[in-house]
Amino acid sequence: MGDMTVRNIPEDQHLALKRLARLKGGSAEAEARKAIAFYVEAQSDRGFGSRLHEKYGGIVDQDFSIDREGGSSDPVSFE
């Protein structure tokens, strides 16, 4: 696993990261790792479906079928 030192984090962001870590019962460093992982994954060329398949592809039998009704559903009314 690689190591990295991040400098010049704006004070308000650093304090917010510490506050978030305290609320979750973890460390600011762990929260920073999660934020980096989230950002890097979001920049990936792979779509959501590809990431789901990569994560859960071997868990569910791939040859299952879903029975669906042929008709359309009624539109939603918010009145």
Write the pLDDT tens digit of every residue in 29-42.
999 999 999 888 88
Distance CA 22, CA 37 (A): 20
Distance CA 59, CA 62 (A): 9
Pair of tokens at residue 45 = 């060329």
Domain limits of the chain? Answer: 28-58
Closest listed residue to residue 35, CA positions, set 9, 67, 68: 9
Write the pLDDT tens digit of every residue in 43-67.
877 788 887 888 887 776 666 676 7
Non-local CB neighbours of 18 within 8 Å, separated by 6+ positions: 28
Note the pLDDT of residue 62. Answer: 65
Please, what is the average pLDDT of the chain? Answer: 85
Note the pLDDT of residue 61. Answer: 65
- Chain centroid to Cα 34, Å, comes to 9
